[in-house]
């Protein structure tokens, strides 16, 4: 069964360092998302991406964040200068033709900022 | 905010009992979805109910939707220990799903 894969599963970084989280969405999907979940809290929307551009972003997704689909298969989330409060699980998701349909989530990348 | 809010925040029942979780939301929706999350894992889609539907079944799951009250419920019948997880409702906005706080369900053997 097709699945969304994310790497790394866990990354530990120092405050101020750049981090890139990688995702391989399901191959025929057209809509891509990043969500994050701070430990014990709800899943928060960060950004949606369609047709090689951001279609919507939340207040959390400030200038420190960027997304890219560099090669038609990978979908990356970059945090330019990490802060302690960026520590969270980051989930990538994709969906097919409809933005309002089912989302398929990866297993997440746990980011720990020290 | 359109986000759903689940109730209760935590629910603990005996194996074999039914579990009911509720979700309320604030704005009009296209559809409402329920997801499950095992501890430390990704979210898994369970069921989608469209705004013009009132009830939907999938295996041991039954979802209802009352758009006049802006609420939905998820019923898991004949619960099993493996149903222990967090359950989230998600409302569909223009470009994204917005998740509620979730209900932490514990099934005691």
CA nearest to B89, candidates B105, B79, B102:
B102
Whole-angstrom distance, CA of residue B56 vs CA of residue B35: 15
Query: Across the strands, what pairs with B35?
Result: B45, B88
Is some CB atom of chain B closer than 8 A to the CB atom of A42?
yes
Chain A residues in contact with B37 (beta carbon < 8 A):
43
Burial class (CB in 10 A: 0-12, 13-18, 19+), B14: exposed
SS3 of residue B83 by DSSP: helix
**What pLDDT is stored for residue B94 in this prediction?**
63
Contact, A82 vs A16, CB < 8 A?
yes
CB contact under 8 A, B99 and A43: yes
pLDDT digits (tens, 9 = 90+) for A12-51: 999 999 999 999 999 889 899 999 999 888 899 999 999 8
CA nearest to A36, candidates A75, A85, A97, A96:
A85
Average pLDDT over residues A46-68: 93
* Option in B30, B31, B99 nearest A42 (CB): B99
Task: Check whether the bond before B100 is cis (ω within 30° of 0).
Answer: no
SS3 of residue B81 by DSSP: helix
* Option in B40, B41, B100 nearest A42 (CB): B100
Q: Which helix (H) or strand (E) holds A75?
A: strand A75-79
Average pLDDT over residues B7-34: 92
SS3 of residue A62 by DSSP: coil
pLDDT band at B100 (very low <50, low <70, confident <90, very high): confident
């Amino acid at each position: 069964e097709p699945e969304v894969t994310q790497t790394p599963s866990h990354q530990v970084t120092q405050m101020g360092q750049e981090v890139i989280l990688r995702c391989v969405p399901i191959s025929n999907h057209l809509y891509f998302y990043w969500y994050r979940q701070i430990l014990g809290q709800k899943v928060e929307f960060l950004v949606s991406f369609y047709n090689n551009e951001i279609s919507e972003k939340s207040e959390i997704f400030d200038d420190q964040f960027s997304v890219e689909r560099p090669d038609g298969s990978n979908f990356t989330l970059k945090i330019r200068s990490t802060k302690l409060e960026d520590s969270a699980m980051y989930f990538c998701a994709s969906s097919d033709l409809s933005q309002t349909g089912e989302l398929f989530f990866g297993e997440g990348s746990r980011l720990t900022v020290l | 905010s359109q986000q759903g809010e689940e109730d209760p925040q935590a629910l603990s029942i005996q194996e074999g009992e039914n579990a009911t979780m509720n979700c309320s939301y604030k704005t009009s929706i296209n559809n409402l979805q329920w997801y499950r999350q095992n501890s430390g894992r990704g979210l898994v889609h369970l069921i989608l109910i469209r705004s013009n539907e009132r009830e939907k079944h999938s295996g041991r799951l039954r979802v209802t939707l009352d758009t006049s009250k802006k609420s939905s419920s998820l019923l898991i019948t004949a619960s099993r220990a493996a149903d222990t997880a967090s359950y989230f409702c998600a409302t569909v906005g223009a470009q994204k799903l917005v998740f509620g706080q979730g209900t932490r369900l514990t099934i005691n053997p």
